[in-house]
Chains A and B, each alone.
Chain A
Amino acid sequence: MTQLTLGKALGAGLRQAMRDDEKVVLLGEDIGKLGGVFRITDGLLDEFGAARVIDTPLAESGIVGTAVGLAFRGYRPVVEIQFDGFVYPAFDQIVSQVAKLHYRTQGRVKMPVTIRIPWAGGIGAAEHHSESPEAYFAHTAGLRVIAVSNPEDAYRSLRQAIASDDPVVFFEPKRLYHHKGEVDLDAPLADAPPMGLARVVRPGTDATVLTYGAMVGTALQAAEAAEDEGIALEVVDLRSLSPVDYDSVAASVRKTGRVVVAHEASREAGLAAEVIASVTERCFEYLESAPLRVTGHDVPYPPAKLEKYHLPDLDRILDAVDRVLDRPHSLTGADA
């Protein structure tokens, strides 16, 4: 086991994937000499050369569109979008081309494209640097969507994403790039749990908090605080946002009977809505109370000084926990 930051774990994952398969090529803005603006690709240009670590012109549609062509040619492109808010120029290529080509060609064309996106807020960044666009992609058939929350997961699921014959939109919480954790660099990929599985990060019996990305940490803090009040929260890291591992989710909900879904993205038509609908369909008779969402507000991502009011924190999660447990809570009158 090695102690690595999440950022370094991702770099190690890329390196290992490139060593394992010479068809793996990287494309992106500033990923060569600079090593990417977050230094995730640091050192890869030196090891693999400019033909496999391709510093591109500043054009996201161009980057993803080119990756599509490389995939036609049998490559496994891994694309870096510099920041979440810059994926939109490439949106058409991702949802119209990357997501659909396999289907349109009845499987004759594979799109093993991994689209890495430094993602979400909490770092006091400028406009367009803290967005949570996951729902757009989860809504698009043909894409897999992964969100990681710790170095071990980052290392393993990035390699799995690259090895997958399907396109994967891979969300990296930039708030956690410098967070450290144990990573087993040598564990064979074949032995790892599939990247689509959810994981119980903390077992509990009173209510389930479903979340992903950097919010997993917040949920764990909430669970610790709840423990002081005698409440045992189960925290589940979804890890895969499309498909969601509803078997694991349902198992937890059947155990606790109460559900809170937390994410940074805004609420309207967000992932929490989908997850709660699915949980309700599957586990209605097990539910002791109506599931609740804790999300960002339905506003464009606010300027840095206001983001602390936008991002769910442990208090907002605990408030929702109180409500699903029918305990006195702060949102008076909000149950209408």
Chain B
Amino acid sequence: MSPQTTPIADTAQDLELSERILAPDGSRMPNARLDAFVADVDAAQLRALHRDMVVLRRIDAEGVALQRQGQLGLWAPCQGQEAAQIGTARALDPQDYVFPSYRETGVIYARGAQPGDYVRMWRGEEGAAYDPAALRVAPLQIIIGAQTLHAVGYALGIRHENAPEVAVTYFGDGATSQGDVNEAMIFAASYQAPVVFVCQNNHWAISEPVTVQSQYPIAGRAPGFGIPSLRVDGNDVLACLAAMRWALEHARSGKGPAYIEAVTYRMGPHTTADDPTRYRDDAEWESWRDRDPIARLEAHLRASGDLTDEHVAETQAAADAVAKEMRAACLGMVTRPPLAVFDGVYAEPHTGLERQRDEYAAYLASFESEA
């Protein structure tokens, strides 16, 4: 065998190398590997996916607006990544458990997040935005890559119990450089853990282009760890759904971990504190705008007559309603009193902290007695 030259992970090549079911113009392409996984998806289901994506985009826009209005400290937009998040998350079973990064607004939406859940953490009210047990989603993770190891550990538990569940972890292209992510893959493969890795390659880790993290398509690494992988067009919600169904089936049936790289694009800034004009050129952004995941599914549904203007109007109204609830939940949040800083540090009594809390309580009370 002669040595092969490795493909470079550049923006243009990325797409041609990925699996696809819907072309950017919405037309359906045959896909030998994936078609079987979405053979059951009918027009109603497609409309539901469309609606999910529209609602998610609206939630995301509301998050940005709330931040701009000073209601949130920060927001991490996911515009452009709707198909990758909705397509993969909608493939999950309710009992599966997700370990996300901070950008997975669409994933927590698909898991049933409540209006306040989107903003509680970003507003700085609480460290975790929601009840993990209720959503079966771990708290949004800020330390890049840490959650991938947690998912593998969770999956080991599933394996010990022979449960039919799968652990799923989401992370970005930048995260693949972290030791934790590589260690997670080794552990997952060593123990054949039922875990699915979902890398949303949105091309940028803040200002670092994906080429700084990877000279080879990211999905190509997983086989080196002994993990089968698929590289899908992350702006094609059907391909994302199909790939995730493949991965989940693989993991659920005892074959061990699976890996998906969803090739997509972050249309907005990294967070509301970021300024992408410093590092990203307009042409690149525009070329991705033409691959908008929502427009793509909409074109597909329109062509087959499965989406009417009324549908679209209804969906938009539903999205507006969700955004309104989210805003109301955000503005209605009441900051906890000062002594809440001590809440929940330990599960059992801790005399040192109790003393400190009492001291601080006495200190605060001294202001009242003065008044």
Contacts and interface: CB of A to CB of B under 8 A. Distances in A.
Nearest to B172: A58
B362 A127 contact: no
Nearest to B206: A30
B121 interface: yes
Contacts of A299: 341-342, 345, 353
A32 B209 CA distance: 12
Query: Interface size for chain B: under 10, 10 to 19, 20 to 34, or 35 or more residues?
Result: 35 or more
B362 A330 contact: yes
B74 A58 contact: no
B143 A86 contact: yes
A330 B365 CA distance: 8
Interface string B97-140: 00000100000000000000000011111110000000000000
A32 B204 CA distance: 14
Given A57-B213, A59-B177, A37 B341 contact: no
B25 interface: no
Interface stretch (B80-88, B194-202, B229-237, B332-340): B332-340
A126 B180 contact: no
Interface stretch (A17-25, A158-166, A185-193, A301-309): A301-309
Given A127-B127, A127-B142, A306-B335, 12 more contacts: A29-B208, A57-B212, A58-B205, A88-B143, A126-B73, A126-B121, A306-B336, A306-B338, A306-B341, A309-B341, A330-B362, A330-B366
A319 interface: yes
B362 A58 contact: no
A58 B177 contact: yes
B208 A303 contact: no
Nearest to A320: B363
B73 A55 contact: no
Contacts of A300: 127, 345
A319 B180 CA distance: 45
Contacts of A303: 121, 124-127
Nearest to B350: A298
Interface string A177-221: 000000000000000000000000000000000000000000000
B359 interface: yes
Interface string B312-356: 000000000000000000000001101111100100000011001
B285 interface: no
Contact of B362 (A124, A305, A310, A334): A334
B278 interface: yes
B243 to A, nearest CB: 24
A128 interface: yes
A332 B102 CA distance: 43
Contacts of B362: 330-334
A330 B122 CA distance: 35
Nearest to B365: A330
